[in-house]
Structure 1
Amino acid sequence: MSDALKEDAALLFEAVREAGELGRSLTRRSDLQRWTKPDGSEVTEGDLAINVFFEERLKAVRPGYGWLSEETPDDPAERMKQDRLWIIDPIDGTRAFIEGRQEWCVAVALAVSGRPVLAAVYRPMRDEFYSAIAGEGALLNGSALEIPDSGSLEGANIAGNRKALASLSHHGIAADPSGSLPLQLRLAYVAAGRLDGAVSAGKRNDWDLAAGELLVIEAGGAVSGISGEGYIYNKPDPWQQGLVAAGAKRHAALINALRMT
């Protein structure tokens, strides 16, 4: 690992942990403002405050890196000029954050040439800090993660949206709709072996995927779209077509099962 990547990792991991603590402190406020976006999703003062925090701690410190955040208007032409890209989800699981539940996290990845090389997903309400460096493995609170794998889908605990799970129902999976669990935490749970896999049909935003993808890959798994093609980030449209994440053998079984539907 280069010295530059080590410095970026230290910067990223410290910033994500501090951002999570900021988010946790804001959950104690009873007057937290919130709004509905044009797409119908919700945003709060917490999302915006954490986004500003990252702009100060990451964007300002690395001005030559591109920027893609759920809470910043996207400028594809500008970000695509840069080989290195911060991919930010200030709060993944805003509904849980609003309702005072624990199922929310802060997630950031650094992508280089379209692929994530650093990732951090922090779940502050349980003090779970997931991190990964490309080629160096994935960790949960400092302990190495390794996905238990199998080529069988029978009894596998697969989280996802109902459309994707319906396509797998006749393969004997233990379907987990996980409506309250945001995508980044589903991916973190796959990396940690708490879920056997995660699937989702339809377009999924890059900021919902990039950090969690690296966690799964570095824990020995595989991540792709429904078609089986891998993700490339920093494209004009910042989204991917679907999600399939699991250990390498189970990932292949899931892709085959989805193709048969």
Structure 2
Amino acid sequence: MPETDLALLLEAGQKAGEIASSYFGRDPRIWNKDDNAGPVTEADLAVNAHLAAVLQAARPDYGWLSEESEDAKARLTTRRQFVIDPIDGTRAFIERSRDWAISLAIVEDGVPLVGVVIMPERGKTYAALRGQGATLNGSRLSVTGQADLAAATVLTNKITMQPDFWKGGVTPPIKRTFRSSLAYRLCLVAEARFDAMMTLRPTWEWDIAAGALIVAEAGGTVTDRQARPLRLNNQMPQVNGVIAAGPVHRAIASALI
């Protein structure tokens, strides 16, 4: 059994990636979740079963929060929790895009302690340990130095660009692009491929727990849409949107309503 939490997540995540890839591009069975919560595939469930078995056996005193497990709220009584998205970007997975991720985090007292995001079909493993920096396939990561909002490249969806979200009713002239997986968007900011990512919608903790730590350990700033620090392991496991960026974070947060 791996001795450290980071080694545990890396080992479990790599096997999870192998399981997910065994279904990828092979038309796995798909169901629609209740309340229009989106699709889930047999691959999501197989990965979740593997992670739940391995991680909970290794750390039985840690709480458990996963997109594909019933939230029994027992996690609220624990100091540390696994926060897991077995496949982040399920729609991309179904559409045979490679832009889906396995997102694994350990949260301590509301703050991510360890984060791993694995992109099996892209051969990427992002990892971070609080206070120890962030890496991609073992190489250190650092966010961009871009501070000018007008020159920033931002990963976000189209709805974010509506004038109603911006002061004065004017959308800044930022360069927008998109990826399906929130975890991957965060990691691309940490990798300095983009200057920022943001989502203004209520955001599930399992989508962002690992990636938020990876951005922070790459020197970035990660907050909710109102520039407040993220606090995780909430009763309702959501945060009020996410802004993750290098120096341009201040300009984005100041421009939003």
TM-score bracket for the superposition, by shorter chain length: over 0.9
Q: CA deviation at 1:60?
A: 1.8
| Distance in structure 2 (CA, Å) of the matches to 1:170 and 1:52 | 43
Q: CA deviation at 1:98?
A: 1.1
State the number of aligned residues: 250
Question: 1:97·1:104 contact (CA, 8 Å) conserved in 2?
Answer: yes
Q: What do the CA deviations read for 1:199-246 (whole angstroms, capped 9, x no partner)?
A: 111200000110000010000001111111111111111000011110
Question: 2:161·2:171 contact (CA, 8 Å) conserved in 1?
Answer: no
Superposed, 1:61-80 pairs within 5 Å as 61-76=58-73, 78-80=74-76
Question: 1:161·1:201 contact (CA, 8 Å) conserved in 2?
Answer: no
For residue 250 of structure 2, what is the aligned residue in structure 1?
252
Residue type matched to 2:173 in 1?
Answer: G
Residue type matched to 1:137 in 2?
Answer: G
Q: CA deviation at 1:6?
A: 6.0
For residue 151 of structure 1, what is the aligned residue in structure 2?
147
For residue 204 of structure 2, what is the aligned residue in structure 1?
205
Q: CA deviation at 1:57?
A: 1.0
Q: What do the CA deviations read for 1:141-171 (whole angstroms, capped 9, x no partner)?
A: 0000011123211121111122323346642
1:126 maps to which of 103, 107, 122: 122
For residue 106 of structure 2, what is the aligned residue in structure 1?
110
Residue type matched to 2:184 in 1?
Answer: L
| Distance in structure 2 (CA, Å) of the matches to 1:147 and 1:202 | 24
Q: Secondary structure at the match of 1:71?
A: coil
RMSD (CA atoms):
1.4
Residue type matched to 2:6 in 1?
Answer: A
Question: 1:165·1:199 contact (CA, 8 Å) conserved in 2?
Answer: no
TM-score (normalizing by structure 1): 0.92
For residue 187 of structure 1, what is the aligned residue in structure 2?
186
Stretches of structure 1 lacking an aligned partner (at least 5 in a row): none
Residue type matched to 2:254 in 1?
Answer: N
Q: CA deviation at 1:56?
A: 1.2
Counterpart check, 1:59 vs 2:84: no
Distance change in 2, residues 1:23/1:171 (3 Å): same
2:39 maps to which of 39, 42, 51: 42
Runs of 4+ aligned structure 1 residues displaced above 6 Å come to none
| Distance in structure 2 (CA, Å) of the matches to 1:91 and 1:146 | 25
Question: 1:102·1:126 contact (CA, 8 Å) conserved in 2?
Answer: yes
Residue type matched to 1:113 in 2?
Answer: D
Question: 1:116·1:211 contact (CA, 8 Å) conserved in 2?
Answer: yes
| Distance in structure 2 (CA, Å) of the matches to 1:9 and 1:242 | 27
| Distance in structure 1 (CA, Å) of the matches to 2:154 and 2:33 | 30
Stretches of structure 2 lacking an aligned partner (at least 5 in a row): none
| Distance in structure 1 (CA, Å) of the matches to 2:117 and 2:35 | 25
Q: Secondary structure at the match of 1:126?
A: coil
| Distance in structure 2 (CA, Å) of the matches to 1:83 and 1:48 | 26
Question: 1:108·1:121 contact (CA, 8 Å) conserved in 2?
Answer: yes
| Distance in structure 2 (CA, Å) of the matches to 1:152 and 1:102 | 31
Residue type matched to 1:202 in 2?
Answer: R
Question: 2:91·2:180 contact (CA, 8 Å) conserved in 1?
Answer: no
Q: CA deviation at 1:134?
A: 0.5
TM-score (normalizing by structure 2): 0.93
Residue type matched to 1:215 in 2?
Answer: I
| Distance in structure 2 (CA, Å) of the matches to 1:135 and 1:19 | 26
For residue 33 of structure 1, what is the aligned residue in structure 2?
29
For residue 89 of structure 2, what is the aligned residue in structure 1?
93
